[in-house]
């Protein structure tokens, strides 16, 4: 089993709140990713990082921001949550090198009222 953890698992919160979704991995992976996925739909990459102090935006435009101050930690922040942010957020990590797969956390299911 991969050692990548996301908290909280579920979050229901009101519009306008600042939210931080936590993601940590204990595998020493350089690469970390955030995906957004609506029920029954495909995954969309919203942010990724190839190491400490490296962050990039993904294919899907997102109002969220990320930081990578430590290798093991890749939090995602929404400054002011809106109902359109309601979705499942999945964090993943992968080791460097060819052929290394991604490992996913359990996800955070976010509902903005």
Partner 1 sequence: RKEVEQDPGPFNVPEGATVAFNCTYSNSASQSFFWYRQDCRKEPKLLMSVYSSGNEDGRFTAQLNRASQYISLLIRDSKLSDSATYLCVVNRKDTGNQFYFGTGTSLTVIP
Residue 82 C-beta: closest distance to partner 1, Å? 22
In terms of CB distance, is 16 or 51 closer to partner 1? 51
In terms of CB distance, is 64 or 105 closer to partner 1? 105
The Cα–Cα gap between 65 and 20 comes to 9
Region of 19-27, 62-70, 76-84, 102-110 interacting with partner 1 (CB under 8 A): 102-110
- Is 93 within 8 Å of 29 (Cβ atoms)? yes
Region of 18-26, 37-45, 66-74, 76-84 interacting with partner 1 (CB under 8 A): 37-45
């Amino acid at each position: 089993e991969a050692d990548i953890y996301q908290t909280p698992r579920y979050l229901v919160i009101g519009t306008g709140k600042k939210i931080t979704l936590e993601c940590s991995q204990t595998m020493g992976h350089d690469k970390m990713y955030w995906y957004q996925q609506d029920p029954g739909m495909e995954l969309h990459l919203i942010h990724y990082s190839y190491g400490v102090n490296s962050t990039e935006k993904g294919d899907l435009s997102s109002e969220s921001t990320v930081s990578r101050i430590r290798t093991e930690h890749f939090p995602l922040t929404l400054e002011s949550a809106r109902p359109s942010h309601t979705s499942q957020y999945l964090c993943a990590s992968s080791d460097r090198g060819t052929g290394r797969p991604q490992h996913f956390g359990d996800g955070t299911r976010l509902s903005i009222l």
